[in-house]
Amino acid sequence: MSIVITRIDERLIHGQVAYSWSVAYQVTEYLVIDDEAANDPTQILLLSMAVPSGKKHAILSVENAVRYLAAQPESVKTFIVVKSPHVLLSLIEKGITLPSINVGGMYYKPGKQEISKTVYLDEEDRDVFRKIRGHGIACEIRTSPSDKSIDLFTKI
Q: What is the pLDDT of residues 78-106, one digit of tens each?
A: 999 999 999 999 999 999 999 999 999 99
d(CA 60, CA 2): 17
Q: What is the pLDDT of residues 5-51, one digit of tens each?
A: 999 999 999 888 888 998 899 999 999 999 999 999 999 999 999 99
d(CA 103, CA 121): 11
Domain count across the chain? 1
Q: What backbone torsions phi and psi does residue 70 show, to the nearest 5 degrees?
A: -65, -25
Considering the entire predicted model, what is its pTM? 0.94
Closest CA to 35 of 55, 57, 59, 51: 59
Domain that holds residue 134: 3-154
Q: Is 57 a catalytic residue?
A: no
CATH number at residue 22: 3.40.35.10
